[in-house]
Structure 1
């Protein structure tokens, strides 16, 4: 069956389309349902259903009835389950974090206990025969010596070690630095501009070594955006609308992904590989200019104040429409 799918160029495309069509076609409706349902129950029921769905292709293969339409149907249902779970989790997280911190600590402890129980159920494997006469320290030293004496293994070990020092040092403070020095709105605008300029630098790079710098800048900008954007949305959106707002915010990105893949591959084929990079840079910088006033510091602070005022009301009723900032919107 796998070989048959590989022989069909459209086989994997059909499966991918089936998995994503649920979120592209009806994401907002699913989000409205999630906001009506109990979010915790939605997550565990969805995961249980997906566990059953994953077993269907295996059973179909045993019965010799596996087919592309069956796989497409399973992929569609898995995509639907993923949409429901992600939307419910996004909406549930802010409520969970507002509770007693002891709850999160207890949840972490319970997760480790569950992991221990699951690992305990794994089949036992024969242990390696210990080398006679060797102490534990000598055996540990032998393993370390094996790595440090082999330049290939040493290189493989040094890359993630140094990378973790650099990347985690940057990621730990990047979003907070941007927020504290620039303000959330200006930080979002700057990170978007950095991404556009980095792609422009990548397009103009004369060699792969120079191209590494703009790629690193683009990654830093994306990392900061992925922290600031969702955090701001969770802070200003009413709890009863969180699922629908998260899904509605996610849908344009989901719909745009295949368009970007097509528009990137087409000019690269008809012209050259740098053309889509220049086009992407122009698109990103244009988007930054258009949305700069929409996400300015003043508008962000106005939305935060409105959300805080709504949370302080005795009935905790929040308006269905977002608060509008002043017309004179300057970051």
Structure 2
């Protein structure tokens, strides 16, 4: 007799998933500190402008363009837990270099750019391995519940990490705030030692040429209409988000004169939205179905994006923050439902390649958005980037209407 979901223990009582959950939670909490601290370090310590901040944001994600496809093929060949542990340790070392260089008086934008590239590569490998490991830990029938828990925890880390980061930067300075993130990666690596892992699903791909594996992964993704619709929607949203957020340190702190904690609080509102959306995603999908939930959420939240370009003093700060909350609520819903859907329709021996190919385009869009934000900020001002991001975000749900994804249960 097969075991039903009702017969299985709660997810956090499963040792492997619990350790993965804690490792990711700790790492994500620290990462949100650097998300705020690194651009503030560039602006307040090194005097960076809009173009330099945009490039700093873009470099970490553009790294995915060069490494994404080979990373997926490689992860499908090897055991995933050691990959995650090594990338945690390497990222810790990279971040330790920032306060050390600051103490020595040698910190430069060139070093911050190098840190962004190395962190992007490490995060790519960690995330591909982590997402490929989840189905084997919990079973495909519990993917939505597991991803809801993981995404909600990530959103909670956004709230705590970003709001804490603004305060930390104000109290101890941006370089020491980066040190907190470095320590979090070491803690994450320690928890990952308790995650069990079966050997790779198939032995044959390890003997195939990497190029052939990459081509097979790309063909699989673009041959699946559901995955293509999710990819187009995600690419548009990921292009829009950096346009709406990368230049916030320049606008809020540099131009409007708000203290650093206001930037952290504003970004934390986004974490609250993602937390609410990811927590509600499972219930929404049970009521509406995965496909219908995704396009209805996009339609209902589209007008909120048009509040963001009005970010300013007084009530406009609150209005923009409310729009940011609504948009990130939708992101929380989509992150749970679309991630679970992708994992559900992908065979185990293709998970690494599907995930890496998807991330190549999704994170590549984030990188392009960061570069575009920097360019627009330099030429036409910060608000031009906010307006373009708002318009793209408002229409990013439209691809669902032309795909059978909207009929997915």
What TM-score do you get using the length of structure 2 for normalisation?
0.46
- Larger mean Cα displacement after TM superposition, 25-34 or 59-68: 59-68
1:199–1:278 CA contact under 8 A, matched in 2: no
Paired residue secondary structure (1:36)? coil
**Are positions 1:90 and 2:131 aligned together?**
yes
Match of 2:87 among 37, 46, 49: 46
Distance 1:295 1:13, change over 3 A: same
1:23-102 matches, within 5 Å, as 23-55=64-96, 72-73=113-114, 75-98=116-139
Deviation at 1:184, TM superposition (A): 0.5
Distance 1:21 1:194 in 2: 31
Q: Is 2:187 the counterpart of 1:187? A: no
User: Is the contact between residue 186 and residue 297 of structure 1 (CA under 8 Å) also seen in structure 2?
Assistant: yes
Matches within 5 A, 1:247-266: 247-261=356-370, 263=372, 266=376
CA offsets, 1:294-325, max 9 Å, x none? 25343x35xxxxxxxxxxxxxxxxxxxxxxxx
Q: Does the CA-based 8 Å contact 2:306-2:390 persist in structure 1?
A: yes
Report the count of equivalent residues. Answer: 240
Q: Distance in 1 between matches of 2:324 and 2:102?
A: 43
Task: Classify 1:276/1:55 alpha carbon distance in 2 versus 1 (closer, same or farther; 3 Å).
Answer: closer
- The alignment status of 1:6 with 2:46, answered yes or no, reads yes
Return closer, same or farther for 1:293/1:16 CA change in 2, 3 Å cut-off.
Answer: closer
Task: Give me the whole-angstrom Cα distance separating, in 2, the residues matched to 1:48 and 1:295.
Answer: 42
Structure 1 residue aligned with 2:334: 225
For the Cα contact (< 8 Å) 1:5–1:68, is it kept in 2?
A: no
> CA shift at 1:292, angstroms?
2.1
Q: CA deviation at 1:15?
A: 5.6
Q: Which residue number corresponds to residue 344 of structure 2?
A: 235
Report deviation, 1:95: 0.9
| Cα deviation 1:235-291 (Å, max 9, x = unaligned) | 221111112211222222322224334555738974894x65654454334432233
Q: Within 2, Cα distance between the matches of 1:60 and 1:202?
A: 36
Which has the higher mean CA deviation after the structures are superposed, 289-298 or 218-227? 289-298
Distance in 2 (CA, whole Å) between partners of 1:29 and 1:262 is 24
Aligned to 2:353: 244
CA RMSD of aligned residues (A): 4.6
Q: In the TM superposition, what is the alpha-carbon distance from 1:187 to its structure 2 partner?
A: 0.7
Query: Residue 294 of structure 2 contacts residue 406 of structure 2 at CA under 8 Å; is this kept in 1?
Result: no
Q: Partners in 1 of 2:325 and 2:403 — Cα distance?
A: 27
Taking structure 1 as reference, are residues 177 and 197 closer, same or farther at Cα in structure 2, changes over 3 Å only? farther
2:396 paired with 1:287:
yes
Looking at structure 2, the residues matched to 207 and 65 of structure 1 have their Cα atoms a distance apart, in angstroms, of 41
Inter-CA distance 192–40: structure 2 relative to 1 (3 Å threshold): same
Relative to structure 1, the CA distance from residue 191 to residue 268 in structure 2 (aligned partners, 3 Å threshold; closer, same or farther) is: farther
Distance change (3 Å), C-alpha of 1:203 and 1:95 = same
What TM-score, normalized by structure 1, do the two folds share? 0.55
Aligned-pair CA distance for 1:169: 10
Residue 167 (structure 1) shift: 7.5
Looking at structure 2, the residues matched to 69 and 168 of structure 1 have their Cα atoms a distance apart, in angstroms, of 33
Q: Where does structure 2 lack aligned partners over 5 or more consecutive residues?
A: 1-40, 147-186, 192-264
Which entry has the higher C-alpha Rg, 1 or 2? 1
Instruction: Summarize deviations over 1:147-193 as a string: whole Å, max 9, x none.
Output: xxxxxxxxxxxx9xxx9xx9799557621332122211011111222
Counterparts of 2:321 and 2:47, CA distance in 1 = 36
Find the aligned partners of 1:20 and 1:254 in 2 and give their Cα distance: 5
| Alpha-carbon distance between aligned partners in 2 of 1:231 and 1:177, rounded to the nearest angstrom | 14
Whose helix proportion is higher, 1 or 2?
2
Question: How far apart in 2 are the matches of 1:54 and 1:19?
Answer: 13
